Amino acid sequence: MNMNIPNIDLPRVVVVGCGFAGLKLIQKIDSRQYQTVLLDKNNYHTFQPLMYQVATSGLEPDSIVYPIRKVFKGKRNFHFRMAEVQSVDTAGKTLHTDIGELEYDYLVLATGAVTNFFGIENIERHGYTMKSLVESLDLRSIILQNFEKALNTSDLKQRQKYMNFVIVGAGATGLELAGTLAELKRYILPKDYPDLDIRQMQIHLIEASDRVLPGMSANASDKSYKFLKKLGINIWLNTFVKDYDGCTAITSNGEFETATLVWTAGVIGAPIGNMDSNLNRANRIITDDFNAVLGVEDVFAVGDVAAIESEGEGRGHPMLASVAGQQGKQLGSNLNAIARGKDMQPFVYNDRGTMATIGRNRAVVDLPFYKFSGVLAWFTWMFLHLMLLVGFRNRLVVFVNWCWSYLKYDQGLRLIVRKVKKQSPVESQ
C-alpha cells in the first residue's frame, strides 16, 4: 500500500525525523524546487535541552514541544505524516513505514540518537532515562511516587532507598538534573513532606571520567564541581556502574542502595533498522563532507545520527543541537543548489560555545574565546534557551514559569499523572 501523498512534477525529498536537523532543513528547502515529505513518530518537535525541567516538575511538556504542523503552516508542497519508518530500500528508492510505502528522490535521515546502555541490560530494564518526553514524564512521576512510598513505610532501610537518587553521567543533562533535585530537596520537599526527614535524601552523581562536564573546558569542570558540592551533591569520579537490579547499583567504587537510577551516561546514533552498513562505533551513519551517506545514492544523514568521516578522526562532530541545526540548514542549501545546478558546499561547524546550568544563579558558559560562570552565566543560559524555543507562546509560558519558580522558590507542577510501574524489587523485599 502506498502512502497517501500526491504525485506532483517536482523531485521529492523525504526527511525522517523532526529534531533540530530536520526542522532547520525543511525551513531552508525551496518549495518551488522540491516536494518535501516529513515523517516523524511524534506530531511534535521537542526542545531536548529543557527535558530535565519536565522531569523535575519545573515545566509542562507543552512549553518545550511544538506541533510540527504548526511549524510548517502554509509551506507549499510540504506534507507531514506521523509514521514510523521500518526499513529503507536504497536500490528501489523506497521507504517502508507503518502507514505504507513511500518513494523518494532524495532521502534525508535525521533520526537522532538513543540512550546507550553499553549493553548492560539490567540498567535498561530498571533504570530511568530522559531521552524523550514520555520518559521525562515517567521520571517525574517516579520521583514524586518515591516520596509517597517513603512516607508509607516504617522500614527505615527501605525508606532510605526511596530517598536516594543515583544519576549516572556528569554531562550537562546529569548536572542539570542533579542541581534541580538538590533544589527540590532544599526548598520544596521539606514543605510538601513535613512527616519525612528530607535531610536524609541523598543525591549521588557518578561519572566514569576524571571530571564533571568532560565535554567542556577545565574551567567549566572546576566551577561546576564547586557548585555541585555547595548544593550537597555527592560526586563520584572515575567510577563505573556495572549493574543495577532496581535496588542496588554496583559500581567500581562500591554499592549504592537506591530505587531510582537515572542513566544519562551516553547516547548512540539511531539509524533505520536495515541501514547497518557504514556505521561508526557510536552507531552513527558515516557521511562525506556534504552529509551524503557513503556508498548509497541520494541518501543524506544529518545531526546526531550522522558522523562526517573527515571530522574528529572519524568520530564526527559532537552530538549537539547546534551541530544538528547547522547541518540541517547547510543540507537544505545544498539541496537547493542541486536543483539550480550549482555546487554544494561542504559542512563547516561554527562552534558558538557550550553551556550548562547547576541550580539557581549557577551556570558555566564556554565561548570560543571567553569562559565564565556564576550569576551572569546563569542569566545567559536562561536567555539563550528562551530564544531557542520554537514559538512565542512557549517562550512566554516558560518565562512566566521561570520567574514564578525564581521568586517563589517553588516548582508548581508536582503531579503524578502517569502511574509508572517498572519492576521495582524494593517493595517486595
Please tell me the distance from the alpha carbon of residue 233 to that of residue 112, in angstroms, as a whole number: 31
Please tell me the distance from the alpha carbon of residue 421 to that of residue 429, in angstroms, as a whole number: 16
Residue 82 CB, nearest distance to its own copies (Å)?
5
- C-beta of 100 vs 353, nearer to its own copies: 100
Chain residues 62-81 in contact with its own copies, contact rule CB under 8 A: 62, 65, 67, 69-70, 73-74, 79, 81
Query: Of the candidates 39, 137, 208, 390, which one interacts with its own copies according to CB under 8 A?
Result: 137
157 forms part of the interface with its own copies (CB under 8 A) = no
Residue 130 CB, nearest distance to its own copies (Å)?
15
Query: Of the candidates 31, 42, 160, 280, which one interacts with its own copies according to CB under 8 A?
Result: 42
Query: Of the candidates 29, 144, 235, 259, which one interacts with its own copies according to CB under 8 A?
Result: 144
Stretch in the footprint of its own copies (CB under 8 A) among 13-21, 169-177, 344-352, 390-398: 390-398
Stretch in the footprint of its own copies (CB under 8 A) among 150-158, 313-321, 324-332, 355-363: 150-158
Query: Of the candidates 295, 416, 425, 429, which one interacts with its own copies according to CB under 8 A?
Result: 416
Q: Where do runs of H (alpha helix) occur along 93-251?
A: 121-126, 133-152, 156-163, 172-183, 189-192, 218-230
Stretch in the footprint of its own copies (CB under 8 A) among 2-10, 219-227, 266-274, 340-348: 2-10
33 forms part of the interface with its own copies (CB under 8 A) = no
Nine-digit cell string for 265: 551516561
Distances (CA, A) of 164 to 1, 143, 150, 358, 420: 52, 10, 11, 19, 18
Chain residues 91-120 in contact with its own copies, contact rule CB under 8 A: 99-100
Residue 189 CB, nearest distance to its own copies (Å)?
10
84 forms part of the interface with its own copies (CB under 8 A) = no
- C-beta of 376 vs 396, nearer to its own copies: 396
265 CB-near residues (< 8 Å, 6+ apart): 116, 118, 168, 169, 174, 208, 241
- How many residues of this chain bind its own copies (CB under 8 A)? 47
DSSP-derived letter for residue 284 is P
Report helix angle 20-28 to 321-339, nearest 10: 30
Query: Of the candidates 30, 60, 289, 309, which one interacts with its own copies according to CB under 8 A?
Result: 60
Please tell me the distance from the alpha carbon of residue 425 to that of residue 110, in angstroms, as a whole number: 38
Q: Where do runs of H (alpha helix) occur along 353-419?
A: 375-388, 392-408
- C-beta of 382 vs 413, nearer to its own copies: 413
Please tell me the distance from the alpha carbon of residue 330 to that of residue 402, in angstroms, as a whole number: 34
Q: Do residues 273 and 244 touch, judged by C-beta distance below 8 A?
A: no
End-to-end CA distance of the chain: 52
Q: Do residues 88 and 94 touch, judged by C-beta distance below 8 A?
A: yes
362 forms part of the interface with its own copies (CB under 8 A) = no
Element (H, E) at 88: strand 85-89
173 CB-near residues (< 8 Å, 6+ apart): 51, 52, 130, 264
3-class state of residue 53 by DSSP: helix
420 forms part of the interface with its own copies (CB under 8 A) = no
Q: Which residues pair with 387 in a beta bridge?
A: none
Q: What x/- string results for residues 159 through 198 when contact with its own copies is judged by CB under 8 A?
A: --------------------------------xxx-x---
Query: Of the candidates 28, 186, 395, 414, which one interacts with its own copies according to CB under 8 A?
Result: 414
Contacting residues toward its own copies, per CB under 8 A: 3-4, 6, 42-44, 60-62, 65, 67, 69-70, 73-74, 79, 81-82, 99-100, 133-134, 137, 144, 148, 151-154, 191-193, 195, 391, 393-394, 396-397, 400-401, 404, 412-417
